[in-house]
Structure formats: structure tokens, C-alpha cells
């Protein structure tokens, strides 16, 4: 049994993207530092993400670092991070000279656990990085209220979920500063790129001062901005198609609960699927099972990979770990991620993916 639909390509051959490239060629902006495309993209992002300020930049990775700098995080400060997250976020904390403090995740949602955050008592914490990962959404209302009480600033990493909402509010606009990625595999792509969103001019100004070095040191080009604008206009529709296909796959995989635990939804929320995550439960105790399953699924045409490695093995020299962070450890060993391009294909592709998953997981178990 194999997936015969596809190939599942990304980026899509979008005529509106081609038209945007033509426009940037014709108006000469392709060769300029600044121009109408970058300015237009900033306006579009402000509207879409309900924020006052947008700083375009070179990647989501540098965006998170800029966000920390915007928050005034410095050497000697501590920054809270989930024990399972994008590796660059750990490095961004180190880059500003601060120390990562690892708390556990909500294992059902792959996101920083608000209860663990609430239990945290540390004097030197300045900020918290919260990422929305793999179709799971963090509990932003609770996290923001904890952060407000303690005087912590929140960097909300929305790189994986542009267009997602929690209580009708765009993900990326909950935190003091929000970060987007326009990397080559992302839902909004310019090959590379990112943006930092903020509501308060102070954060924005600090980031600008840091990056202004006689020229803007981490730029997004006019060409990149041009190709992003038509994609932004289609984001909501595409997110809907992805969500429908996710629903098809999750429904068809209901009989696999013993082996696979899919990412859980959150009330009053609408996720965006850059990846669709499962935890392969037997891999929590034996990680080699995951490698076997991934190899078999890939052979059968399913675009699936392991998740992040997490930070649970990082030495105490580099970070503080609060408690055993068992959930993060388990997710580091057990996460399976289905890549989003299949989720924009037809329903038949989603059905085939489910059938192959069902077949391979059951045969692995026997």
C-alpha cells in the first residue's frame, strides 16, 4: 500500500506570485533597498495581525533574537522556554547573553505548560518565549495573565502558525512581541525572511536601534516582500483547506489511539497546520520504533519526519531545568510530523495518507 497522489510540492506554482515578481521587475524595486512592496507588506501584516508595528527581517530565527533584544533582555537575565521547542530559540537566548530556564510542555499540544509557568518562582526571569508548534496552540490568555502579574515580557513565536487564532485574536498578537517566519518551507514563504510584530513603540525602537548599522543589518528584500503579499491574501483560505484535510486524517486514524496520540485542539481556537503532530506512544520508551516507522512511511510515500530533539539533554552549564520535564523528554523521542504540502492536496490524498498510516502503524505493532 502506498500514496499514489502527489507529488506534494512547495512552494506552489502560483500565478499571482509570478505577477508580483513581474511587478517588482517592472517598477525597478527589485534592485532597491526600500520600496512599495516592503511598505505594503508591513501594512498588510499590521492589519492581519492586529498590531501597531512590524519590523521585517531576515528570518524567524533572527526575529526571535531581535524580539528578546526589543524586550531589553540582557546578560544575567533568565528567559523561560519550553523543554521542547525550535533549537534556534535556545540559541537566541544565549545570543543575548541570557540563560534559558526550561519548563515542561503540555504534551497534548506541544506547547509551554501554563501551570508549570505559574509554579515558577525565580527572581531573574525577564521574558518567556512561547511557541505554537505542530498544530498545537499555547494557552495564551493564561500565560499572558501570569506574565503580567510577574512583570515578565512574552515573545510569542508564531513562525509555524500564521493565520491561527485564539479567542478570535491572531496568534502572534497575544505576546508583547510576536515573530513570523517566511522560510522556504513555511506557510508564507519567500525562501527566507521573517517579521517581528509589536504593539508598543519601545520594543520596536530598541530592535531598530540594534539592527541599524549604517544600514539595516537583517533585511528582507523588496523581491521577498513582493512574493509574500499575494500569499498573505490567500492564507485564510489555504488554512481552511489544510484544517479540513487534517480533520479527515484524524478521523480516519481514530482506531490508532493505542499507538498514536494526535495534537489536541484548544477551545475557541483555530490552529494553522505547518506540521501535523502525533506522539508515537511506544517510542516514549523505545525511540528506535519511531525511526523504523518513519522509514516505512517514507517508503510508502508519506512525507513525515521526526520532531525537534528538545533541550532535555542540554548541560546545566547552559541552562536551568525546572523539575524533570518528562513531557518534553517524551515528545523529543516520540514526535512524528506530517509536512503541510499534502494538506493542500485533495481529499483523496488525505485518505491515502490515513490508510497508509493505519496499515504501517498496525504492522509495526505486530
Ligand X SMILES: Cc1ncc(COP(=O)(O)O)c(C=O)c1O
Task: Say how far apart CA 220 and CA 192 lie, in whole Å.
Answer: 8
Closest separation in Å from C-beta 352 to ligand X: 26
To ligand X, the closest distance from the beta carbon of 86 in angstroms equals 4
* Nearest distance in Å: CB 258, ligand X: 29
Instruction: Name the residue nearer to ligand X (CB basis): 133 or 153.
Output: 133
Are 127 and 71 in contact by the 8 Å Cβ rule? The answer is yes
Q: How far is CA 126 from CA 132, 199, 203, in A?
A: 20, 18, 14
77-96 residues in contact with ligand X (CB under 6 A) are 86, 88
The answer to whether the CB of 164 falls within 8 A of the CB of 158 is yes
What letter does residue 66 receive in the DSSP assignment? H
Tell me if 160 contacts ligand X by CB under 6 A.
yes
**Shortest Å, Cβ 60 to ligand X:** 3
Question: How close are the terminal C-alpha atoms of the chain, in Å?
Answer: 17
- Determine if 271 is a binding residue for ligand X (CB under 6 A): no
| Grid cell listed for 194 | 521573517
Closer to ligand X by CB, 196 or 289: give it.
196
Residue 103, all three cell numbers:
519548563
User: How would DSSP label each residue in 141-209?
Assistant: HHHHHHHHHHT-EEEEE-TT-TT-EETTEETTSSSSEEEEE--TTSSS-SSS-EEEEESSHHHHHHHHH
User: Of the candidates 29, 48, 61, 352, which one interacts with ligand X according to CB under 6 A?
Assistant: 61
Strand partners, 304: 338
> How many chain residues bind ligand X (CB under 6 A)?
13
Q: Is 161 in the site for ligand X (CB under 6 A)?
A: no
| Residues 167, 170: Cα–Cα separation, whole Å | 8
Instruction: Compute the distance between CA of residue 241 and CA of residue 83 in angstroms, rounded to an integer.
Output: 31
The Cα 177–Cα 53 span in angstroms is 10
Q: How far is the CB of 183 from ligand X (least distance, A)?
A: 3
The correct pick among 173, 181, 198, 354 for binding ligand X (CB under 6 A) is 181
59 binds ligand X (CB under 6 A): yes
- Distance (Å, whole) CA 157 – CA 159: 6
As given in the structure block, the three cell numbers for residue 265 are 485542539
195 binds ligand X (CB under 6 A): no
Place of cell 540594534: 210
Q: Which of 159/357 has CB closer to ligand X?
A: 159
Residue closest to ligand X when measured from CB atoms: 60
* Closest to ligand X by CB, 159 or 256: 159
335-339, strands of its sheet edge to edge: 260-262, 275-280, 335-339, 304-306
Rounded to the nearest whole angstrom, what is the least distance from the CB of residue 306 to ligand X in the complex? Answer: 14
Q: Work out which of 35, 60, 135, 307 binds ligand X, going by CB under 6 A.
A: 60
CB of 307 to ligand X, least distance (A): 10
Q: How far is the CB of 357 from ligand X (least distance, A)?
A: 23
Over the window 119 to 158, marking each residue x when it contacts ligand X by CB under 6 A and - when it does not, the resulting string is ------------x-x-----------------------x-
Strand order in the sheet with 53-57: 53-57, 194-198, 177-181, 153-157, 125-131, 78-82, 99-103, 320-321
Q: Which is nearer to ligand X, 160 or 334 (CB)?
A: 160
> 301 vs 327, which CB is nearer to ligand X?
327
Toward ligand X, which CB reaches closer, 62 or 350? 62
Question: Given the rule CB under 6 A, which of 28-36, 54-62, 167-175, 292-300 is the region that contacts ligand X?
Answer: 54-62
Q: Measured from the CB of residue 2, what is the shortest distance to ligand X in angstroms? A: 28
Q: Which residues bind ligand X (CB under 6 A)?
A: 59-61, 86, 88, 131, 133, 157, 159-160, 181, 183, 194
Amino acid at each position: 500500500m502506498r500514496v499514489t497522489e502527489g507529488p506534494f510540492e512547495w512552494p506552489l506554482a502560483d500565478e499571482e506570485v509570478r505577477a508580483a515578481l513581474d511587478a517588482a521587475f517592472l517598477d525597478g524595486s527589485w534592485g532597491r533597498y526600500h520600496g512599495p512592496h516592503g511598505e505594503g507588506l508591513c501594512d498588510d501584516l499590521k492589519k492581519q495581525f492586529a498590531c501597531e508595528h512590524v519590523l521585517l527581517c531576515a528570518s524567524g530565527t533572527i526575529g526571535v533574537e531581535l524580539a528578546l533584544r526589543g524586550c531589553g533582555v540582557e546578560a544575567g537575565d533568565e528567559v523561560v522556554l519550553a523543554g521542547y521547542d525550535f533549537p534556534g530559540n535556545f540559541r537566541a537566548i544565549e545570543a543575548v547573553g541570557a540563560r534559558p530556564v526550561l519548563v515542561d510542555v503540555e504534551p497534548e499540544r506541544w506547547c509551554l505548560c501554563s501551570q508549570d509557568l505559574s509554579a515558577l518562582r525565580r527572581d531573574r526571569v525577564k521574558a518567556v518565549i512561547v511557541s505554537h508548534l505542530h498544530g498545537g496552540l499555547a494557552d495564551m490568555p493564561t500565560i499572558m495573565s501570569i506574565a503580567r502579574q510577574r512583570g515578565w515580557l512574552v515573545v510569542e513565536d508564531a513562525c509555524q502558525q500564521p493565520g491561527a487564532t485564539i479567542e478570535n485574536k491572531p496568534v502572534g498578537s497575544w505576546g508583547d512581541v510576536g515573530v513570523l517566519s517566511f522560510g522556504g518551507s513555511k506557510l508564507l514563504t519567500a525562501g527566507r525572511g521573517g517579521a517581528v510584530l509589536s504593539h508598543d513603540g519601545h520594543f520596536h525602537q530598541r530592535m531598530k536601534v540594534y539592527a541599524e548599522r549604517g544600514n539595516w543589518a537583517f533585511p528582507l528584500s523588496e523581491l521577498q516582500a513582493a512574493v509574500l503579499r499575494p500569499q498573505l491574501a490567500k492564507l485564510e483560505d489555504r488554512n481552511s483547506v489544510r484544517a479540513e484535510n487534517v480533520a479527515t486524517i484524524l478521523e480516519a486514524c481514530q482506531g490508532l489511539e493505542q499507538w498514536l496520540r494526535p495534537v489536541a485542539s484548544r477551545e475557541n481556537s483555530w490552529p494553522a497546520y505547518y506540521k501535523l503532530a502525533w506522539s508515537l506512544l511506544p517510542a516514549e520508551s523505545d525511540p528506535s520504533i519511531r525511526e523504523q516507522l518513519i522509514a516505512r512511511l517514507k517508503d510508502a510515500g508519506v512525507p513525515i519526519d521526526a520532531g525537534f530533539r528538545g533541550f532535555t539533554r542540554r548541560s546545566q552549564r547552559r541552562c536551568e531545568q525546572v523539575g524533570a520535564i518528562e513531557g518534553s523528554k517524551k515528545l523529543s523521542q516520540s514526535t512524528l510530523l506530517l509536512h503541510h504540502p499534502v494538506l493542500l492536496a485533495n481529499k483523496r490524498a488525505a485518505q491515502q495518507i490515513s490508510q497508509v498510516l493505519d496499515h504501517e502503524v498496525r504492522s509495526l505493532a505486530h
